[in-house]
Structure 1
């Protein structure tokens, strides 16, 4: 097991961006940037003895300064959507940037946690990243300290351990927005990947806004049913309003039996390479996003990423939980630390 770092570039203000390489004895390697606590590469051993990079990303640090698709980024302090860009805690109202129609998406496109330098501390097989955020920063209460520890073991488990403390009640809903393509980051469309989700319910959305209605709907007998393995593309273009209003799959699934313990939420496989991905999490939700609007001409190795060239499995609290009393509680503070674990295992 080794951890090394190299200079990747500098921010516009001159801060140094480092790439941390975490390697195991099985030939797998993950590359994490301290800019945005971003997953840049995940190299998985292939059948022919080589390695395949199975996540989308950029070779040029300046492309990450825009990164409208949040490729590989840690999103926070609030991932996904907040209705009307407003929420309240104990009667106090908070306003967020209106950046997705009338709503808020991923906190702030220009100043969110994915656009900041995190402090880094290297371990034997891990890197712990830390970010401090003052009371009022980005429209959130509390002086907060966030840590995200990436670790890699010899069973090819890439673990993301999130922890946060706050001296006031505050909304916290962190995720990582890594895009997977198990055939290789430059292999094109992912609709032929098979996927299984340990989720018998999902949260339907309001047409045109992608805000959950507040209902939990059964997937059985619908195009949203991944409780039995099927390809991502089998039903993605079906004439169903819930799909058409967001261009395909971009929905939160409710992980079955989730009570804060580490449980398998998803399993995916490439028919080309045979590489598999098992996603386990302690969080109650997982957003399946099929990269419906992905477009970037500046991908790694001069790749032009197109719609549905990568898919996301974003572990999270349900979108807009803060405004839905029936959804899991995403408020944390002096008496309740935020703590979650997500593991991506590659075979």
Structure 2
């Protein structure tokens, strides 16, 4: 364990990060031999090792060092915000006022803009043997967003092999807020050679959000039944891969799946991912209304821990509000717009069985 932590320290704190200072890393371990590591840059979930068949298995993709982490655009393990996913043209209207935020994904804004929360140094507010709390202040006008926003993210490792991520935020002006963690999972092991397509997935979601060519949702919530987006029963991700126009537009799966309201209580299993060999299972529980299932369609040529990553070397299950929500008033509470005095308290759990 010590050598694993030492290797992480050496790879990530030898080179200055975005702000010219080295990263601070935090390591947690439970009695079962599961470990998780984080860094203050992006409040990033950097590593997750599981004891599988007597060996420690790294299941998260990451950059090999800080120099490459700074260059990558995959958002490996970072907290993204203010608004995760895309906002069309980087524009939205709130209370009659138009706002323009940073455009960094074609003509759209992605994951908070050019200088999103993934590139910020978060303060380590608390740290114990089983949890760490990161905090960030985002000033009014940051990246074009209205309001002073204060955010905290708490990571807790349990003895049930669960990583619990708690999100809190408050603002003094109405503004879009949609926070998520952008971890990439390969349950067969980061360097295994297995693909996201080899994994088995089940989503407790009866609908998904079709998109245009810029991956902006059309506004329709389309039923998954009878489509390749139906994961209501467990199936291999690759079994109906790229078989429909909605997938071909995105180069695979890169869509928000809408959970049934009864499963967003934070206690009910909303998603289940299984490794190709069925030796690791990950169960996801959340209070968010949707999950962006991303099959790793843009990973090619990204330097990674064990190799240069290729397409589909990992997948993300990002719990969140609906993409482009600020521009879709009909979506109501699922839009991801926070008001002064309003409550932003959410939780997502990634629980592992091996």
Category of TM-score, reference length = shorter chain: over 0.9
Q: 1:259: how far off?
A: 7.6
Aligned counterpart, 1:80: 85
- SS of 2:152's partner is strand
**Residue 237 (structure 1) shift:** 2.3
Ranges in structure 2 where 5+ consecutive residues have no aligned partner? none
CA contact (8 A) 1:265 1:286 kept: no
Report the alpha carbon displacement of residue 70 of structure 1 after superposing the two structures with TM: 1.0
| TM-score (ref. length: structure 1) | 0.94
Determine the structure 2 residue equivalent to 1:241: 245
- The 1:63–1:312 alpha-carbon spacing in structure 2 relative to 1, beyond 3 Å, is same
Question: How far apart in 2 are the matches of 1:315 and 1:71?
Answer: 15
Q: Is the 8 A contact 2:322 2:335 kept in 1?
A: no
Aligned match of 2:118: 114
- 1:50 equivalent to 2:50? Answer no
Q: CA deviation at 1:212?
A: 0.7
- Displacement after TM superposition at 1:69 (Å): 1.1
User: Quick one: which of 267, 282, 292 aligns to 2:297?
Assistant: 292
Preserved contact between residue 187 and residue 309 of structure 1 (Cα < 8 Å) = no
SS class of match (1:39): strand
Aligned to 1:316: 320
Deviation of 1:273 (Å): 5.8
How far apart are 1:141 and its partner, in Å?
Answer: 1.2
2:136 to 131, 137, 140: 131
User: How far does the alpha carbon of each residue in 1:155-195 deviate from its partner, in whole angstroms, 9 at most, with x for none?
Assistant: 01101101011111111001111100000011222211100
Q: Please report how far the alpha carbon of residue 123 of structure 1 lies from its aligned counterpart in structure 2 after TM superposition.
A: 2.1
* Cα distance per residue 1:314-334 (max 9 Å; x no partner): 000010111111221311132
Aligned to 1:225: 230
Task: Find out whether 1:19 has 2:25 as its counterpart.
Answer: yes
Partner of 2:269, secondary structure, is strand
Contact 2:338 2:344 in 1 (8 A): yes
> What is the match of residue 254 of structure 1?
258
Would you tell me which structure has more strand in proportion to its own residues? 1
Q: Is the 8 A contact 1:211 1:319 kept in 2?
A: yes
Distance apart, 1:260 and its partner CA = 5.3
Q: Give the match for residue 197 of structure 2.
A: 191
Check conservation: 2:29, 2:129, Cα contact below 8 A.
Answer: no
Q: Contact between 1:258 and 1:284, CA under 8 Å: does it hold in 2?
A: no
What is the 5 A alignment of 1:251-290? 251-258=255-262, 261-262=265-266, 263-272=268-277, 274-290=279-295
TM, length-normalised to structure 2: 0.92
Q: CA deviation at 1:13?
A: 3.7
Where does residue 42 of structure 2 map in the other structure? 36
CA distance 1:297–1:332, change in 2 (3 Å): closer
8 Å contact kept, 2:150–2:171? yes
Matched with 1:157 is 162
In structure 2, distance between residues paired with 1:26 and 1:35: 28
Q: 1:220 to 1:169 in 2, by over 3 A?
A: same
Over the aligned positions, Cα root-mean-square deviation in angstroms equals 1.7
1:190-248, Cα deviation, whole Å (9 max, x unpaired): 21110000001111112x1111111111101110000010001001121x110111101
- Going from structure 1 to structure 2, the CA distance change for 1:140 and 1:297 (only over 3 Å counts) comes to closer
What is the aligned counterpart of 1:66 among 64, 71, 74?
A: 71
Name which of structure 1's ranges 123-132 and 332-341 shifts more when overlaid on structure 2: 332-341
- The answer for unaligned runs of 5 or more in structure 1 is none
Shift of 1:73: 1.2
Residue equivalent to 1:204: 210
